[in-house]
Amino acid sequence: MTLILFALFAVVILMMFRRQRKAKAAQQEQQAKLATGVSVMTNFGLFGTVLSIEEAENKVVLELSPGNTATVHRQTITKITAPDGPDSAVPDDASSLMGVPADGQTDPHPRAYGDNGSAEVNESADETILRLNKDHKNDN
């Protein structure tokens, strides 16, 4: 019985060492990717771009917004964030929200979103007033 307990204890210890080794390897890989111009996140939630790295003192200067910098310890950088691609950028206009295709042609069936989040065909002002009055009566 004690042999089984010792074996179980040994397995737990080996798993802890393995986990520490993986974490250390991941941290070293991330530190190798750290360079000037890379977007990062710190362990306390600051997002910024690396301006300079001081190897001797383990300091990294981050630009948080244009003209605002912060100096942090190198180990506080927990994540290298991927730059936003063109698909994740906010459009210059609201055409994608209004049902207008990117090619500029108008959609024959423009959509609006109702209170319940479902897409519905746009309605006239009179139809909207009637619908809202009906909804108000249902609420009472």
pLDDT at 34: 84
Which tokens go with 89?
Answer: 């950028």
CATH of 35-84, one of 2.60.120.10, 3.40.50.300, 2.30.30.140, 3.30.110.40: 2.30.30.140
**Rounded Cα gap, residues 19 and 83, in angstroms:** 29
Contact of 65 with 99, CB cutoff 8 Å: no
Residue type, 138: N
List the chain pLDDT tens, one digit each, 140 residues: 888 999 999 999 999 999 999 988 988 888 888 888 889 999 988 899 999 999 889 899 999 988 899 999 988 888 888 765 444 455 556 555 555 555 555 555 445 555 555 545 577 888 888 888 887 777 66
Contact of 70 with 48, CB cutoff 8 Å: yes
The number of angstroms, rounded, from the C-alpha of 108 to the middle of its chain's C-alpha atoms is 35
Q: Look-up: residue for tokens 């074996």? A: 7
Contact of 83 with 39, CB cutoff 8 Å: yes
pLDDT at 90: 53
Domain locations in the chain as residue ranges: 1-33, 35-84, 93-139
CA angle 66, 72, 52 (to 5 degrees): 60
pLDDT at 26: 85
Collapsing DSSP states into helix, strand and coil, what is residue 129?
Answer: helix
pLDDT at 27: 81
